[in-house]
Amino acid sequence: MAADIDWASLGFGYVKTPYRYVSNFKDGKWDEGGLTEDDKVVITECAGVLQYAQQVFEGLKAYTTVDGRIVTFRPDLNAERMVTSAKRLEIPPFPAERFLEAVDEVVWANRDYVPPYGSGASLYLRPYLFGSSAVIGVKPANEFQFRLFATPVGPYFKGGVKPITIRVSDFDRAAPRGTGHIKAGLNYAMSLHAIVDAHNCGFDENMYLDPASRTFVEETGGANFLFVTKDKRVVTPLSDSILPSITRRSLCYVAEKYLGLKVENRPVRLDELQDFAECGLCGTAAVISPVGKINDHGKEIAFPSGMEKMGEVTQQLYDTLTGIQLGKIKAPDGWIREIKK
């Protein structure tokens, strides 16, 4: 029976659901793992994650389709990216096949919390891996935990799909040759001061630039950028220090193969932003959130799409991607994984 939740008014917050998946790595191997109702993590005060932030994570969603199936969207790419992230932080990767089984098990066990079709909400899944044994000298832990919990969520930005205003940040997110391309908690810890400051100044998000030259656009704290030119080309920033967003990669495919648009993944200069017609933030949480204005130290770049609604191409991309996720539009092979007993 569906949980007693007002799905339409959900924001992007944590709601405890009954089951989560846990597996522990000890003596060089992952144990069998399984579901538990225990939402508490008990670890030593000296755990690697608590001392030196040895943690990586993922984010993906489960949806109810138009014909009542429960599905996840390209979870194999999250599994793969988590392996890359883990290796960079000296964490033994959680096998991709087991990651997919954990996703299936947690979604199925919490199926009453998968928001119904048409509610605009979804079940957000948060897999993560962290160093659980004691370390005091700077070195990797030798015991780790994988957990995966689920929480029903609504839109990431208040106001749903209304355009937001962002600012060019004076803080940097990721160093060249650093960890910007992996999904590690440490990248988000260092963005917390910048986001609080942005909110205090009346902005919804930060646009981070490349730290080396501060002339190219990177991404925001939790999403990649997507721009549309006046002649309807889709442009996404290329950089070694941004997270390879699964949503962005999927949207580029959709733009090319479903909408017949030209797509360019290339370095994007800050000083060319004023030439674009539309701008959006893309990610699992953000889906595509339209950006109406970018403030660069008082200089305002207002996109012709305005502050009332998404730009035309952004809307087409949004409708096609969400249509695929919700089973209304035929998905490319392998994009949709149905969850069933």
Nearer to ligand COI, 135 or 219 (CB): 219
Residue nearest ligand COI, CB atom distance: 59
CA angle, residues 137, 140, 145, in degrees to nearest 5: 130
Query: What part of residues 264-283 is at the interface with ligand PLP (CB under 6 A)?
Result: 283
Contact residues for ligand COI, defined by CB under 6 A: 59, 222, 283-285
133 binds ligand PLP (CB under 6 A): no
Nearer to ligand COI, 142 or 322 (CB): 322
Q: Which of 114, 228, 243, 291 binds ligand PLP (CB under 6 A)?
A: 243
Q: Which of 122, 206, 284, 316 binds ligand PLP (CB under 6 A)?
A: 284
Could you count the other beta carbons within 10 Å of the beta carbon of residue 11?
A: 12
With left for phi above 0 and alpha for psi between -120 and 50, is residue 297 left, alpha or beta? left
* CB 9 within 8 Å of CB 154: yes
Q: Which of 223, 234, 294, 321 binds ligand PLP (CB under 6 A)?
A: 223
**Which residues face 30 on adjacent strands?**
25
247 binds ligand PLP (CB under 6 A): yes
Long-range CB pairs of 97-104 (<8 Å, 24+ gap) are 98/23, 98/30, 98/33, 99/75, 99/127, 100/75, 100/76, 100/337, 102/21, 102/23, 102/33, 102/127, 102/146, 102/148, 103/60, 103/62, 103/72, 103/75, 103/127, 103/148, 103/337, 103/339, 104/337, 104/339
Shortest distance in whole angstroms from residue 14 CB to ligand COI: 11
219 binds ligand PLP (CB under 6 A): yes
Q: Which does 219 bind (CB under 5 to 8 A by kind): ligand COI, ligand PLP, none?
A: ligand PLP
125 binds ligand PLP (CB under 6 A): no
Shortest distance in whole angstroms from residue 197 CB to ligand PLP: 18
Query: What part of residues 34-63 is at the interface with ligand PLP (CB under 6 A)?
Result: 59
Q: Where are the alpha helices (DSSP H) in the chain?
A: 48-52, 75-88, 96-109, 185-189, 192-200, 246-257, 312-325
Instruction: Give the C-alpha distances (Å, rounded to integers) separating 31 from 34, 69, 122, 146.
Output: 9, 31, 30, 10
Q: Which does 246 bind (CB under 5 to 8 A by kind): ligand COI, ligand PLP, none?
A: ligand PLP
Residues annotated catalytic, as ranges = 183
Contact region with ligand PLP (CB under 6 A), list: 100-108, 240-248, 272-280, 288-296: 240-248
Helix (H, G, I), strand (E, B) or coil at 266: strand
Contact region with ligand PLP (CB under 6 A), list: 123-131, 160-168, 217-225, 313-321: 217-225
* CB 303 within 8 Å of CB 279: yes
Nearer to ligand COI, 14 or 176 (CB): 14
Q: Where do contacts with ligand PLP occur on this chain (CB under 6 A)?
A: 59, 219, 222-224, 243, 245-248, 283-284
